[in-house]
Amino acid sequence: MANYEGQVSSGSTDVRSLGNMIFEPILDDGVFRFDCSADDRDAAYPSISFLNSRDRETPITNNTHKVPSYTPTFECLLDQQVVQLELPIGTSLYGTGEVGGQLERTGKRGFTWNTDAWGYGPETASLYQSHPWVLAVLPNGEALGILADTSRRCEIDLRKESIVRFIAPSSYPVITFGPFASPTEVLISLSKAIGTVFMPPKWSLGYQQCRWSYLSDQRVLEVAKTFREKSIPCDVIWMDIDYMDGFRCFTFDKERFKDPKSLVKDLHYSGFKAIWMLDPGIKQERGYFVYDSGSENDVWVQKADGTPFVGDVWPGPCVFPDYTQSNVRAWWGSLVKDFVSNGVDGIWNDMNEPAVFEVAMNTMPESNVHRGDGDLGGCQNHSFYHNVYGLLMARSTYEGMKLANENKRPFVLTRAGFSGSQRYAATWTGDNLSTWEHLHMSISMVLQLGLSGQPLSGPDIGGFAGNATPRLFGRWMGVGSLFPFCRGHSEAESTDHEPWSFGEECEEVCRLALKRRYRLIPLIYTLFYFAHTRGTPVATPTFFADPKDPSLRKLENSFLLGPVLVYASTTPNQGLDKLEVTLPKGIWLGFDFSDSHPDLPALYLKGGSIIPVGLPLQHVGEASPSDELTLLVALDEYGKAEGFLFEDDGDGYEFTKGNYLLTRYVAELQSSVVTVIVHKTEGSWKRPTRHLHIQLLLGGGAMLDTWGVDGEVLHVNLPSEEEVSKLVLTSEKKYKEQLEKAIQIPDVEDIVSRTPIELKSSDWLLKVVPWIGGRIISMMHSPSGTQWLHRRIEISGYEEYSGTEYRSAGCSEEYSIINRELEHAEEEESVVLEGDIGGGLVLQRKIYFPKNAANIIQINSSIIAHSVGAGTGGFSRLACLRIHPTFILLHPSESFVSFTSVDGSKHEVFPDGREQIFEGRLIPNGEWRFVDKRLGLALVNRFNVNEVLKCIVQWDSDTVNLELWSENRCVSEQSPIQISHQYEVIRIP
């Protein structure tokens, strides 16, 4: 028996020994390897989790921290090695990989055994991935990481406060990282051991749409087309197993997906990538080229008698590649290489726990044999390699994609994984349920994976199994759009789960949520660059902002995306307007993109931070990112801020050769002037020529703007404290009113009657929602394919209102449909709507396409006195008719408003973030134009100048309001207020 430190006589061979583990420093300062004895150190199998197994085997001699702060104890019992580490009372425990339930793991026990866990719950003991890892946050805010470096089934027991126990077959080392000053430092140190996340191609950070399954190429194209028609951002369409010929991997159904190259070509033309599924189960069928080739090369996992193991999966009887052998990984990689030639942009590895149907434990027998390479552990039974089967399949797929095109970064998604699989693949949280519990749990699950070294993850948004309600789906999209990996997916038996499948309100919330994501992609891509190069996390629990604050450690409905704090509601009847927010200490400034809604998360930027923000795009590759860059700046208590932006080609590996641009921006307040400069750059990539938009956050959503050229010194002048307070109060009031006016997404029983009215001509398609202000939410110009009007049901679009307040009667009242005429024999198509605004007044609007002028939308808006009260002298209250359309700025740096005034002066009004009023002889002489130079189009608004008292241009970050105001006067039955106007799209030079 080995001479263990602290060995005691037990009187039984079942209990071998117990005592303190021996240690040696490895890898870097503060990292220690612990073993039960020197003999156990020698007997340990090679590390599969480490990027380089030799790093675990090689002690270092220059470690300045040679004595660990905490030493585990061990007990060896019945061939099991029990390791225990006792930490100070008040320590919070996290990590443990892919687990359901609560974020803080004290009181929980789980097992690392990759399992097909359809419909799992918060107490399910084993899910799809295995990470024998615990992150401990000590009472003083320091953190310690503990890795049990074994591929075998491992129990992680955290049921006793501040005690970590690992139980797995002997012998395995335990690696500790730290204590370090912060949890981030621990994760950086862990990444040096197990490797950082692969650098994702930029397109893979967009929204991705999936279903089990889109049953034909035509259905795939239909879904893609609908995303573009509805202006909902999306970059990827996924193909589940039904694209295959009889579920045979590397084949295509000859009827439903007969020409995959043409399908992908069409998708690429519309800005979409295509990702296709590959399972490990290969149909046992002679004549099937994959089976024949694999049998010829002897690649299959074997039974104990040396014959190939056969288990049932989707195709029926299947054999399974033994990815523990380098020659098998090369064989699989060659198949992947050929498969990619069909236009495959990414590959999805599913069922790779490996899952096997109708057997105990839903996997292959532990007695099966893998003839593994020596550097992985050699020939072993399945119990040794089970947890790393998915990792090795993902590695094989990743390497095959690199073989296909070394100039593109592979994108692989894997269901099963192990510590280290982040080097090859993203992951998702498996077959979750369409329930509020799973929405809430998805935040903690994504965070736990990130805390375990797997930062690129996300759930099936909306839930995989079951039918989401509109409110659940919209709320899930609101928070899911800000996870590192963003994909909607649902099972075959469920109802449609595309963003437009749940009614107009839910569709609009999804659109707003995804536009938020796309505006934040420059930040997300920069975070992944640091994650890839340095090992820093991407999404983290809120307590990372202040690890010393115990009140933050159990928060489960918020998380950090770099310096951005995301606060979401995960209960059905509690929207953003009712959400109680706990902010870490310091300065946290709220912001949005003029898109606040009760069903969207609240966003805060940490003081001292600068984040890059992009344009609102439909897909990552749309337009050129060099047109304009926005920096959101939040100063700290010292008047300073900094932030980074990483840029490169978005794909390939030129960035590893220095062909990138990493910019460090710095802001500083001195004498009421905030100066923003480029402080430092790395890389040889040329800075794009672009406008730089600085938005200095003041609090309450208020901000100051300035424009310039990126790379130059920019200044923002701060007004007096009194003026700043007024700006903040005004912004807070506007924000509150916006939330109050907004209509939350209804659930199933509320949506049936809420169908927008559609008005069509050969040139135009309009959608009107009578139930909230009669608002026009869509103004699609068919010849140019341009959506001009801001599609927002609850507060934007085209509306009228009255009164002296900014938001007053008319923008939220329900309208009645007074008359609706369909187009018959060249008769005009029209609708007349009316809403009661009080005081005996109604707002009335007629929308129609004049005869023989299908290119024109005519809108006649009026405030009419239907009845007047006693004592009014026959007059109703004072009123002003305000026409308030909100148009989309597709290209802010190339958009402006132009007109000629009544006095003959010419004006071009460019985006500057403020309101400009034109009255008297400066009013447009009956026409003004909203011009988009990039599109080469102008939306012309013509009106009766005698009915309009003033015109207002109001810019926002991605919209512009072009308002027409009547005079302010009393309305009688004989004297209504009216503004008649029309829209037409024209080409410009």
> Structure tokens of 659?
């062909």
Beta strands 412-414; 426-428: pairing state: parallel
Nearest-angstrom CA–CA distance, 565 and 491: 32
User: Nearest to residue 508, comparing CAs of 535, 554, 477?
Assistant: 477
Helix (H, G, I), strand (E, B) or coil at 47: coil
- Contacts made by residues 307-313, CB under 8 angstroms, sequence distance 24+: 308/284, 309/364, 309/365, 309/368, 310/284, 311/281, 311/356, 311/357, 311/359, 311/364, 312/356, 312/357, 312/358, 313/247, 313/279, 313/281, 313/351, 313/355, 313/356, 313/357
Residue with tokens 């990590």: 95
> Structure tokens of 148?
């049990």
User: Nearest to residue 106, comparing CAs of 131, 124, 87, 119?
Assistant: 87
User: Nearest to residue 961, comparing CAs of 513, 592, 594?
Assistant: 594
> Structure tokens of 170?
């002997």
Nearest-angstrom CA–CA distance, 432 and 668: 46
> Structure tokens of 589?
């400034």
Contact criterion met (CB below 8 Å) for 324 and 371? yes
Q: Which of 431, 628, 647, 651 is catalytic?
A: 431
Nearest-angstrom CA–CA distance, 646 and 214: 36
Q: Which amino acid is at 706?
A: T
Beta strands 73-77; 80-86: pairing state: antiparallel
Contact criterion met (CB below 8 Å) for 877 and 865? no
> Structure tokens of 518?
């796309």
Q: Which residues pair with 284 in a beta bridge?
A: none
DSSP state of 856: -
DSSP track, 90-129? T-EEEE-SS--S-SS-TT-EEEE-----TT--TT-S--SE
Residue 144 has φ and ψ, to the nearest 5°, of -135, 135
Answer yes or no: 834 catalytic.
no
DSSP state of 700: T
Half-sphere exposure of 520 (CA within 13 A, CB side): 27
Residue with tokens 């003839």: 371
Answer yes or no: 636 catalytic.
no
Maximal C-alpha separation, the chain = 109
Q: How many residues does the chain have?
A: 989
Nearest-angstrom CA–CA distance, 263 and 269: 10
Nearest-angstrom CA–CA distance, 385 and 48: 10
Answer yes or no: 406 catalytic.
no
Half-sphere exposure of 580 (CA within 13 A, CB side): 2
Q: Which of 55, 253, 353, 577 is catalytic?
A: 353
The count of other CB atoms within 10 Å of the CB of residue 188 is 20
The count of other CB atoms within 10 Å of the CB of residue 785 is 10
E strand segments, 710-790: 714-717, 757-760, 764-769, 775-781, 786-787
> Structure tokens of 523?
């930040």
User: Nearest to residue 489, comparing CAs of 423, 413, 560?
Assistant: 413
Helix (H, G, I), strand (E, B) or coil at 291: helix
Nearest-angstrom CA–CA distance, 388 and 46: 13
Query: What is the CA angle 783-787-790, rounded to 5?
Result: 160
> What residues are labeled active site?
350, 353, 431
